[in-house]
Structure 1
Amino acid sequence: MPSERALTAQGLVRRACETHAGRPLATVDGETWTYGEAWERGGRLAAAFAQRGLAAGDRVGLMMSNQLDYFTGLFACLRGGYAAVPMNDMLTAEEFEYMLANSGARGALVGGGFTDTLADITPATDLEVQVAVKDPAGEQVPLEEALDAADGVHDHPADPDDLLMLPYTGGTTGRPKGVRHTQEGVAMAMLAHVTELEIRDGEEMLFTTPLPHSAGYVAMSALVQGAHFTVTAGFDPGEFLALVDSEPVSWTFLVPTQIYRVLDHDDLAETDVSGLETVVYGAAPITPERLEEGLEAFGSAFIQLYGQTEMPDIGTILPKGDHVAGADQVGSCGKAAAMVDLRIANPENPEDTDPLPAGEEGELLMRSPYVMERYHERPEATAETLVDGWLRTGDIARMDEAGYVYLLDRASDMVISGGMNVYTTEVEDAIDRHPGVAQVAVIGIPDDDWGEAVHAVVVPAGDADLTADGVRETADEHLADYKLPKSIEFVEAIPTTPYGKMDKKALREPYWEDEDREVS
């Protein structure tokens, strides 16, 4: 039995929902639920899962677009002691199948639009209980039916070490890795989000990015402050500006591509943005020129964050006061957050965690109370990433005397396009399935709108009549749209390092030589 003073995400959210029971929690398409209503609904779904055989510690897949019932699924996991496996709605059936199977998920809450996909992939998973928000298929139980049949609510007291979140990230193997976050770790991350992102009591927050991604961590954190979320199914700059103009929105989270769309929209000049006091951005670089435009449009509202799935969102912070047009630190990702230790270490020796002197380039290492417990069933990857208590980020950076961190390159070769992580080995594996491809290297190249664009360098096999459209068609069978290459070039050979590995640095250099910063 956990101590009465144990810190858990379950405890933080339970107290928030009880304290703010009458406050509005979230509004989607004009429908609003209160904290009390959502907490009750999550408790009934937890009971429905338990009645159908799920036990504390079982994994539950959350497979849906942004909607109110995302909170039903999240709260069911919090109340029932289940571990949530959040999956964004841009994944392919192949990707959904892998994550559900690898996680060992026994339960799932699926949104409309994905029920047929889930029914098709179920035989390859361990799923035993499937609940559909609408349009059930196969063995899925309609959500309302499950809630009506539930025997009250179900609560399982959580221990700080219990698994709560199992999101998936990519890696050098080309397969996503499950990242295990405990109740205590998530609780600490929630408190870090609240303090570092200036989330105030009753904050009016607008979310347009996927809740299974960073937005979900921010939203869960803001529950502590009794915030109200306006959530859209996706991002449209005109809709965004209309909501800012008509609703009391005071806080929002955007990726730079979305900021550019807003700045370029005709309605901006006529929109009252005076109530928007905080604009948090991250997940991709933002150009100094566009940032200056943003400062002119929104004032001193910007906060930049840098983090990883392995240490959710809050690693470094560039606060509002540091967003000064033309200042050197605007090119940085800020300084260490309050609960974070940072250092730059030797990137060539994974066992060496000693700090390098200020100004020297090396691998960025971080540690905090909310670093992942480990990778799910990947002990070797865990040992490579968690060294002496430090998280090796795979990002190359330098830190100046004042503590500002400047990201320079990405040792892991990940591309961040429009705020979404794209792992080059995964794209390479998909393109390599084309019989006319002898070799392929995928890199990120600068793009004014997307921050980075996925670019494929392909060596044709023999006399193969290979076309860019043919390569894209093959990739499209296996990858989500945002992972598809935006450009393809054909070459006779791909350069290699002295050790015989593809030299992606040489491939990137012509594109990035005039850029100050290669990663977010």
Structure 2
Amino acid sequence: MLEKTIDQVLDKLVSHHQDKIALHDSERSITYFELGNEVNKLANLLQTFDIEVGDRVALWMENSIEFVVAEFAIAKIGAVRVPMNTYLNKKEILYRIHDSHSKLLIYHQSLLENQEKLQIEHNCITLNEAELKEKVGNASANYHKPQINPDSNVTIMYTGGTTGKSKGVLHTHKTILSIVYSETYELEIERGAILLHTTPLPHSAGYFIMPGMLRGGEQYIEKGFDPQRFCEIVEDKQITFAFLVPTMIYMLLDYPELKQYDLNSLNTIVYGAAPMAQSRVKDAIETFGPILMQIYSQAEVINQTTILTKEEHEDALNVSEHRLSSCGRSIIISEVQIVNERDEVCSPNQVGELITKGPHMMIGYWNLPEETNDTIKDGWIYTGDMAYKDEYGYIYLVDRKKDMIITGGFNVYTTAVEKVLFEHEAIKQATVIGVPDEKWGESIKAFVVSHTENISEAELINHCKTKLAKYEVPKSIELIKELPLTPYGKIDKKLLRTAYWKDSNRQVN
């Protein structure tokens, strides 16, 4: 199975499901056969731009059928796709184009304000969607592919850069197909599934497209998330599968009209990409039923490290609600260990760094050999995530290694403080960072979004004092209207920290 390339698998899927509808977006719908033809046409067009095996092609496109066609066409000619999130600013886009030495950029003109131009300094051709449609329309659908090895590079996926400079994560046909096959199994995608995609396809969501196709599924692609639109599509199209980040689930739970819609067709809601408060997981299960499934991973091992299944969510409610705060147990193809600073396996309930390996792991960071060697050691990926494993094998994330706060010589895990804040009934969202402190080195500062205005900083600090050690209690709590998010839907702690550390001799990223 792993000795194939992505395009070979696509060709077989097109052959098996020719007349079935494959994809819908806001503009149109296409069958599997039509998808195969469009991929072949674009593959032929790309070669007229002298795009060869191993060349990089950057994609800055909104969620659309064209994005999916472009990803498959790039893979088909043996080139390397560089997908870029639409929420990135122009500086971040240019960095990724230049760093990857992309030879071609395919983009949606609507992403540029006032029809501005991208000033690309190195030799890179740009092609917007109007030019793309015109040129593809005249291309042939008869395609003769070059020889491509399953170990050939196929994508550079840039990290969110939440704890430092964004790095290009390099994957091959073989590692991506390992992820695709694993997702199809682990996420229990059934034959004929109807999938809804509302999160950015250049990130984690894009890797659910092919598993859906493996099951002959029909997939709806939305440009973004809106709770009303989500409910309307689920009810009208009888959606069975959706991937949501926690902030989207919060928006649905808080949507006043939610109960007016029939969402019973949904049998799977996968969530991940950021921590979700235990209380809100419980609310979601009570609202949607036992259909939640959590995945934990990072770009280096896309979407596939641990899983908390639907049954395990339900069991947690009956056995131990605390388990709802777990990210689950390791998936079948991954090995996961928690190790201390001497690389010794930790005892149950002892905090250490989570390391993992499997056939789906990246081969390295693009043009960053030192960072690659720091991350991949003896075949294991060192994730930088601090965690512990209980006696039943369930893993609990406690912090990013770089997010841990050291105050007065004590280690404070921000997720432990955030969990206590979430236990207060007034709190809707919360995050915690370390800020400079002359006496303690760092002090703990929290930012919260509340359900009500009738809450004070003093009340929240007193709440924390009843549940946390003295050194874990926030020194200050700021009530704000909303928390800043990264383009990938995670709380942007790096941005929050910048205001406090920019003038400090010690820079915390």
TM-score between the two structures when normalised by the length of structure 1: 0.78
Moved more, 39-48 or 83-92: 39-48
From the superposition, tell whether residues 232 and 148 of structure 1 become closer, same or farther in structure 2 (CA, over 3 Å): closer
2:245 to 245, 249, 255: 255
From the superposition, tell whether residues 381 and 10 of structure 1 become closer, same or farther in structure 2 (CA, over 3 Å): same
1:403 to 2:386 alignment: no
Query: Structure 1, residues 21-60: CA drift from partner, whole Å, max 9, x if none?
Result: 2111111126211111122112111111101211121111
Amino acid aligned to 1:331: S
Q: CA deviation at 1:125?
A: 3.3
| SS across alignment from 1:249 | coil
Q: CA deviation at 1:122?
A: 4.4
Moved more, 288-297 or 227-236: 288-297
> Is this contact kept in 2: 1:359–1:401, CA < 8 A?
yes
- For 2:96 and 2:499, locate their aligned partners in 1 and report how far apart those are by CA, in whole Å: 33
1:127 to 2:117 alignment: no
Amino acid aligned to 1:216: G
> Is this contact kept in 2: 1:61–1:87, CA < 8 A?
yes
1:108 to 2:108 alignment: no
Query: Structure 1, residues 230-287: CA drift from partner, whole Å, max 9, x if none?
Result: 1111110011111111111001000111111111112211111111000000111222
| SS across alignment from 1:50 | helix
1:241 to 2:228 alignment: no
From the superposition, tell whether residues 452 and 57 of structure 1 become closer, same or farther in structure 2 (CA, over 3 Å): farther
Q: CA deviation at 1:117?
A: 9.4
Alignment match, 2:272: 282
- For 1:492 and 1:10, locate their aligned partners in 2 and report how far apart those are by CA, in whole Å: 47
Q: CA deviation at 1:327?
A: 2.7
Alignment match, 1:58: 55
> Is this contact kept in 2: 1:91–1:480, CA < 8 A?
no
Moved more, 88-97 or 171-180: 171-180
Query: Structure 1, residues 150-173: CA drift from partner, whole Å, max 9, x if none?
Result: 244432342111111111014588
Q: CA deviation at 1:378?
A: 0.2
1:91 to 2:80 alignment: no
| SS across alignment from 1:392 | strand
- For 1:284 and 1:5, locate their aligned partners in 2 and report how far apart those are by CA, in whole Å: 30
- For 1:17 and 1:411, locate their aligned partners in 2 and report how far apart those are by CA, in whole Å: 44
- For 2:329 and 2:57, locate their aligned partners in 1 and report how far apart those are by CA, in whole Å: 36
> Is this contact kept in 1: 2:212–2:219, CA < 8 A?
no
Alignment match, 1:471: none
From the superposition, tell whether residues 271 and 152 of structure 1 become closer, same or farther in structure 2 (CA, over 3 Å): closer
1:335 to 2:329 alignment: yes
- For 2:487 and 2:335, locate their aligned partners in 1 and report how far apart those are by CA, in whole Å: 36
Alignment match, 2:384: 394
Amino acid aligned to 1:328: H
- For 2:251 and 2:32, locate their aligned partners in 1 and report how far apart those are by CA, in whole Å: 33
> Is this contact kept in 1: 2:170–2:365, CA < 8 A?
yes
Q: CA deviation at 1:309?
A: 0.2
> Is this contact kept in 2: 1:97–1:125, CA < 8 A?
no
> Is this contact kept in 2: 1:16–1:225, CA < 8 A?
no
1:205 to 2:195 alignment: yes
- For 2:500 and 2:46, locate their aligned partners in 1 and report how far apart those are by CA, in whole Å: 54
| SS across alignment from 2:52 | coil
Alignment match, 1:267: 257
2:9 to 12, 19, 23: 12
Q: CA deviation at 1:7?
A: 2.9
Query: Structure 1, residues 195-215: CA drift from partner, whole Å, max 9, x if none?
Result: 111111111011110000100
| SS across alignment from 2:338 | strand
2:132 to 143, 149, 163: 143
* Percent pairwise identity: 30
TM-score between the two structures when normalised by the length of structure 2: 0.79
Amino acid aligned to 2:9: L
> Is this contact kept in 2: 1:455–1:486, CA < 8 A?
no
> Is this contact kept in 2: 1:302–1:319, CA < 8 A?
yes
Alignment match, 2:207: 217
> Is this contact kept in 2: 1:46–1:153, CA < 8 A?
no
Amino acid aligned to 1:76: A
- For 2:270 and 2:488, locate their aligned partners in 1 and report how far apart those are by CA, in whole Å: 26
- For 1:308 and 1:76, locate their aligned partners in 2 and report how far apart those are by CA, in whole Å: 25
Alignment match, 2:454: none
Q: CA deviation at 1:288?
A: 2.0
Q: CA deviation at 1:14?
A: 2.1
> Is this contact kept in 2: 1:318–1:335, CA < 8 A?
yes
- For 2:5 and 2:247, locate their aligned partners in 1 and report how far apart those are by CA, in whole Å: 35
From the superposition, tell whether residues 309 and 232 of structure 1 become closer, same or farther in structure 2 (CA, over 3 Å): same
> Is this contact kept in 2: 1:171–1:412, CA < 8 A?
no
- Where do residues 482-497 of structure 1 align in structure 2 (5 Å cutoff)? 483=492
Moved more, 306-315 or 117-126: 117-126
What is the CA RMSD across the aligned residues, in angstroms?
3.2
Query: Structure 1, residues 361-400: CA drift from partner, whole Å, max 9, x if none?
Result: 1000011101001100000000000000100000000011
| SS across alignment from 1:123 | coil
- For 1:106 and 1:145, locate their aligned partners in 2 and report how far apart those are by CA, in whole Å: 20
> Is this contact kept in 2: 1:10–1:183, CA < 8 A?
no
Q: CA deviation at 1:494?
A: 8.9
- Where do residues 19-38 of structure 1 align in structure 2 (5 Å cutoff)? 19-29=16-26, 31-38=28-35
What are the ranges of 5 or more consecutive residues in structure 2 without an aligned counterpart? 405-413, 438-483
Q: CA deviation at 1:490?
A: 7.4
From the superposition, tell whether residues 79 and 386 of structure 1 become closer, same or farther in structure 2 (CA, over 3 Å): same
- For 1:60 and 1:502, locate their aligned partners in 2 and report how far apart those are by CA, in whole Å: 35
Deviating runs (4+, > 4 A) in structure 1? 115-119, 170-173, 443-459, 478-495, 500-504
| SS across alignment from 1:29 | coil
- For 1:117 and 1:311, locate their aligned partners in 2 and report how far apart those are by CA, in whole Å: 38
> Is this contact kept in 2: 1:27–1:68, CA < 8 A?
yes
